Amino acid sequence: MTAAAAEKRRSALRDHKRKAILAAARRVCDAGGPEALTIRAVAAQAGYAAGAVYSYFGGIDELAIALTAEELGHLARRMREAAERASGPAEALAAAAREALKATAGNAPHVRLAGRLMSAENLPVDLDRAVTGRVISVLETLGGPLRAATGLEGEAAHREILSLAALLIGLRVLDASGRLGALGFTAESLLAHRLAALPEA
Amino acid sequence: MTAAAAEKRRSALRDHKRKAILAAARRVCDAGGPEALTIRAVAAQAGYAAGAVYSYFGGIDELAIALTAEELGHLARRMREAAERASGPAEALAAAAREALKATAGNAPHVRLAGRLMSAENLPVDLDRAVTGRVISVLETLGGPLRAATGLEGEAAHREILSLAALLIGLRVLDASGRLGALGFTAESLLAHRLAALPEA
């Protein structure tokens, strides 16, 4: 084996192990919520020593946020696919936004885990970039159809995209907390009302 | 001491101890985030045995949500006071909404802790009612001025109040996660834009 081939193999092995740790972390979070996510619990679930986990993630915050980055990637893909199945820009925007609610419904552990981004400090540069990239992917699944549907551009478009994303986050939180149903509303109906009132250029 | 006086004294003591436990829980959450909140950590902080804490709260979920209920009460008071200082209904609505952002800025531990409401099941009836009451108080600090400013009533008013609350939650999350500043926006500017576009009756 040449040095280059050996290096490639080491890199593939590291990648495989990192993914196995993230998969274990997902199972821990699914089963016990974000509070159950500790390096020790993830290592036990993955069948590694805790020290092995630390060689991939600097700590539990970093691991939690890497898992959220992965979840955001899945979310962006689902939203993009939903938009692509729709027949026009307004329908694509509505489909992507509805899919954001649908994909996160009944997934409180990962929604709550994502809240960890609010306390994330001193993330490794690679991970911070990965999160930013995934967030932009999610926003763009809304942004493309929103620009096409409304004719908005530049700052005006950004403002509506971010406001819509904020609304989706808040609707998910209120809905999952049982605070919409009690008042006779659904996240979907409030979303539909907002989409119907989007400004146009 | 009569039986009634003894009972009153026991009840006051229980109330005092419950408050001391919640104050200890607040310090634990402030210092270490919601992940640090365990019955053991709160008991140690309060200077009680873990068993004593369990005689007030059925478990850590219940304790966490009692703390969130208290925080929601503080938030409603701050929002109401901000609205009362304003000079007209539109200004009162803006003041209450801005205060919601301001009061939660830099308070990521408690904002994240509130996320626990998304996984809360089988809460004691009293606690569930307390949370519902506090949520309604917060919504009403927006609702009163919103109705007065827009002339909306009934379902149409509820819809705007809930949508505004959802927007505020999402803006707080996006902002605290560093995802607004990077794009040149502030939560306050997005809120102002939304308030300027509220429908009227």
Residue A175 · residue A130 · CB < 8 Å: no
User: Which residue range is the domain that position A71 belongs to?
Assistant: 61-201
Query: Per-residue pLDDT averaged across B71-82, rounded?
Result: 98
Residues in chain A, overall count: 201
Share of chain A above pLDDT 90, in %: 91
Share the mean pLDDT of chain A: 95
Give A119 to chain B, closest Cα distance, Å: 6
Query: Per-residue pLDDT averaged across A171-176, rounded?
Result: 96
Q: Same structural domain for residues B70 and B112?
A: yes
Q: Same structural domain for residues A79 and A28?
A: no
CB contact under 8 A, A163 and B34: no
CB contact under 8 A, B170 and A174: no
- pLDDT-derived band at A66 (thresholds 50, 70, 90) equals very high
> CB atoms < 10 A from the CB of B40, how many?
10
DSSP state of A2: -
Query: Per-residue pLDDT averaged across A162-180, rounded?
Result: 95
CB contact under 8 A, A112 and B111: no
Q: Same structural domain for residues B20 and B98?
A: no
Task: State the ipTM, two decimals.
Answer: 0.94
Q: What tens digit of pLDDT does each residue of A113-152 get?
A: 999 999 888 899 999 999 999 999 999 999 999 999 999 9
CATH number of the domain encompassing residue A85: 1.10.357.10
Q: Residue B1 pLDDT more than 70? A: no
Give A9 to chain B, closest Cα distance, Å: 36
Minimal CA–CA distance to A67: which of A25, A120, A111? Answer: A25
Share of chain B above pLDDT 70, in %: 100
Give A18 or A120, the one with higher predicted confidence.
Answer: A18
Tell me the C-alpha distance between B53 and B60, whole Å: 10
Q: Same structural domain for residues A35 and A66?
A: no
Closest-approach residue (CA) in chain A for B197: A199
Q: Same structural domain for residues B94 and B36?
A: no
Question: What is the predicted pLDDT for the residue at B98?
Answer: 98
Closest-approach residue (CA) in chain A for B170: A166
Q: What tens digit of pLDDT does each residue of A104-113 get?
A: 998 999 999 9
Query: Per-residue pLDDT averaged across A160-182, rounded?
Result: 94
Query: Per-residue pLDDT averaged across A73-90, rounded?
Result: 97
* Total of domains in chain B: 2
Q: Same structural domain for residues B64 and B48?
A: no
Query: Per-residue pLDDT averaged across A19-40, rounded?
Result: 95
Question: What is the predicted pLDDT for the residue at A175?
Answer: 94
Tell me the C-alpha distance between B101 and B168, whole Å: 7
Closest-approach residue (CA) in chain B for A158: B183
CB contact under 8 A, A112 and B109: no
Q: What tens digit of pLDDT does each residue of B38-57 get?
A: 999 999 999 999 999 999 99
Q: Same structural domain for residues B51 and B78?
A: no
Question: What is the predicted pLDDT for the residue at A79?
Answer: 98
Chain B positions touching A183 (Cβ under 8 A) are 158, 162
Q: Same structural domain for residues A122 and A178?
A: yes
Q: Same structural domain for residues A101 and A45?
A: no
Q: Same structural domain for residues B69 and B117?
A: yes
Q: Same structural domain for residues A130 and A32?
A: no
Question: What is the predicted pLDDT for the residue at B192?
Answer: 97
Share the mean pLDDT of chain B: 95
Q: What tens digit of pLDDT does each residue of B86-142 get?
A: 999 999 999 999 999 999 998 999 999 999 999 888 899 999 999 999 999 999 999
